[in-house]
A and B are shown apart, each in its own frame.
Chain A
Amino acid sequence: MSEVAEAPVLMPAKRRGAQLAMLAFAVVIVMGAYANVGLALDGAIPSGMLTYGLGLGGFMLAAYLVLAKFAPWADPLILPLVTVVNGLGLVMIYRLEAAGARGASATNQLIMTGAGVVLFAITLIVLRDHRTLQRLTYTAGFAGLFLLISPLIPGLGKSVNGATIWIGFGPAIIQPAELAKIALVIFFAGYLVAKRDVLALAGRRLLFIDLPRARDLGPVLITWAVSLGVLVLQKDLGSSLLLFGTFIVMLYIATQRTSWVLIGILLFVGGAFLAGQIFDHVHARIEVWLDPGNPEFFDRELGGSAQLMQGLFAMGAGGILGTGLGQGHPYLIPLSFSDFIFPATGEELGLTGLMALLMVYALIVQRGLRTALAARDPYSKLLAGGLSFILAWQVFIIVGGVTNLIPLTGLVTPFMSQGGSALLANWILIALLVRMSDSARRPPPQAIQNEGMTQVFQR
């Protein structure tokens, strides 16, 4: 390898070949999964395999071509990794639909994947430099806040399964909180870059931690109030936890101050505890979390533990190696195609498969954090760090919820769960990460004359 080391320009390679190979590998895995489902259910390769497999392959090829043209230096792994989770989600939904789970529709999800790839392409083509987002800091903040509270507007909001988190225009309903989270991360990044110094430096030392000044607590308290408002008014525990956790972590990334994390945890635990005392739906969740096996809770009208227990039974039935795709009974879990797709996958792929899935998520997050490390300006660092953290945090909240590690909250598993809004929002998020990794890995422009005096500036 010494020849390579002798190369005068040592730059991160584009690795387009590796990306294409990994992408093809990902599509092959998904098609293999389809074939496996068909063989187990009907004893024959399903006729839908070519439609779904080639459909997914076609979408991903299109995404790859856009990426190669408009973000040639982007990280080679992000797209293949996303393809695998998105594809396996499609297979699981297809399998549940075939088994007759009500509401599961693989065709819809495939169409939404296509729409997601289109949004991915549009984001990459329109947004040539992610730093233009910094100018939209407060616009993004207001847009995010508006989207978050829009389900509460009378006539627009829709209540589904007890949570008021949907808005509807005729037949189409969307979940605005999914888009709000991206807008809010953009806002947090822009805001914290401007205000990080005062939040990081001012304060006094008490015992062993640096406490911030009381008047600098404003932003934390406002975010806390908003997220508690979401929890109480919309009965949406997941978005509330997602929003507040992301803000605290971005605050920590910006200031490197542990006291913010402590303050955040104390505020949230305190708030959630109070909410648990006062509001029934929060209280029911906590009861179920502490004692899911209690027969009293199983069939309870409000917040019963039946769904959680079915998920735990499913994962138990799967064991280490799983029952095999198409050979378990994951359709017995209520909502097995959306919130509970993770235990459904766990039944059929077992612990081994779930660990592989979690590794894939971990790798996507690692690529995002790597982008944050490689970025050359603080705004990109915060934005990339925040976006990858929100993905990781979302996976943690839902996987922790269905495995009963933390109280169950309704959140989608990114890219796997059926649901258009979440899929579209996550594809936009990935496009932003790809855009940032492109600019972080792009080599600086070469000088025309190599005299040490000529400089080429990049705008």
Chain B
Amino acid sequence: MSELTLLLIRLAFLAVLWFFVIAAVGVIRTDLFGSRTAPAGPRKGIKPTNPAAKPKNKKGEPRQLVVTGGPLQGTTINLTETPITIGRANDATLVVTDDYASSRHARLFPQDGQWIVEDLGSTNGTYLDRSKVTRPTPVPLGVPIRVGKTVIELRK
């Protein structure tokens, strides 16, 4: 085996090894740079222009629930048609370990293209921005919901 061939094999092997690393990074690209949807635009909430057209117009709908405060900070849950429960119970979608939260504390569910937050009779209450949630209330984008020490918000 000639020197030159071995040199070429050696360089090719290193190149392939690095190509593997780059391919692996490519697979998780969305993790590193975020999803390809446009970054969150104006944060002032969505204008309820035409409720009838809402279900078709998916642009303004929140796609993610992000935990912005508390022990679970950084967790994101992608929103589907499924309701999301928050509480200390193990079967909640977001399980919080927090003495200030009840086992079934609050629920978020979609209705007519909007997400509604509902308090499930918790001891310490659920807060939407500054006001206590007493009946099912629609949640605008980017407005913090407080459950015990945990703060969550909806994002696009």
Query: CB within 8 Å of B: which residues of A?
Result: 1, 5-6, 8-12, 15, 18, 22, 25-26, 29, 32-33, 36, 39-40, 43, 76-77, 80-81, 84, 131, 193, 196-197, 321-322, 324-325, 327, 349-350, 352-353, 356, 359-360, 363, 366-367, 370, 373-378, 381, 443-447, 450, 452, 455-459
Please choose the segment from B45-53, B75-83, B124-132, B137-145 that sits at the chain A interface, where 4 or more of its residues have CB less than 8 A away.
B75-83
Question: In the complex the two chains form, is A1's CB within 8 Å of B36's CB?
Answer: yes
- B32's closest neighbor in chain A, by CB? A366
CA distance A61 to B26 in the complex (A): 22
Known: A25-B20, A324-B7, A356-B21. A349 touches B76 (CB 8 A): no
CA distance A81 to B82 in the complex (A): 34
Q: Give residues of chain B (90-141) contacting chain A, Cβ–Cβ below 8 Å.
A: 90-91, 93-95, 97, 99, 107, 109-111, 116
Question: What distance in Å separates the Cβ of A329 from its nearest Cβ neighbour in chain B?
Answer: 15
Total A-B Cβ pairs within 8 A: 137
Neighbouring B residues of A32 by C-beta, 8 Å = 13, 16
Interface size on B, residues (CB 8 A): 50
Neighbouring A residues of B40 by C-beta, 8 Å = none
Question: In the complex the two chains form, is B81's CB within 8 Å of A9's CB?
Answer: yes
Neighbouring B residues of A15 by C-beta, 8 Å = 27
Q: Rank and list the top 7 A-B pairs by shortest CB-CB distance, nearest first.
A: A377-B95, A324-B10, A457-B91, A452-B109, A356-B17, A43-B1, A378-B97
CA distance A164 to B97 in the complex (A): 41
Known: A36-B10, A352-B18, A363-B21. A455 touches B27 (CB 8 A): no
Question: What distance in Å separates the Cβ of B140 from its nearest Cβ neighbour in chain A?
Answer: 18
Question: In the complex the two chains form, is B9's CB within 8 Å of A447's CB?
Answer: no
- A18's closest neighbor in chain B, by CB? B27
Question: What distance in Å separates the Cβ of A384 from its nearest Cβ neighbour in chain B?
Answer: 12
Question: In the complex the two chains form, is B83's CB within 8 Å of A447's CB?
Answer: yes
Q: Give residues of chain B (56-101) contacting chain A, Cβ–Cβ below 8 Å.
A: 58, 63, 71-72, 74-85, 90-91, 93-95, 97, 99
Q: Quick one: CB contact mask for B21-35 with A, threshold 8 Å, 1 for yes? A: 101110110010000
Question: In the complex the two chains form, is A39's CB within 8 Å of B10's CB?
Answer: no
Question: In the complex the two chains form, is B81's CB within 8 Å of A446's CB?
Answer: yes
Neighbouring A residues of B97 by C-beta, 8 Å = 193, 196, 377-378
Neighbouring A residues of B81 by C-beta, 8 Å = 8-9, 446-447, 450
Neighbouring A residues of B14 by C-beta, 8 Å = 321-322, 349-350, 352-353, 356
Question: In the complex the two chains form, is B6's CB within 8 Å of A327's CB?
Answer: yes
**Could you list 11 examples of A-B contacts with CB < 8 Å?**
A11-B78, A12-B78, A15-B27, A26-B20, A321-B14, A324-B9, A374-B75, A377-B97, A443-B80, A444-B80, A452-B116
Neighbouring A residues of B1 by C-beta, 8 Å = 39-40, 43
- B110's closest neighbor in chain A, by CB? A452
CA distance A260 to B38 in the complex (A): 40
Question: In the complex the two chains form, is B20's CB within 8 Å of A36's CB?
Answer: no
- A44's closest neighbor in chain B, by CB? B1
Neighbouring A residues of B78 by C-beta, 8 Å = 10-12, 443
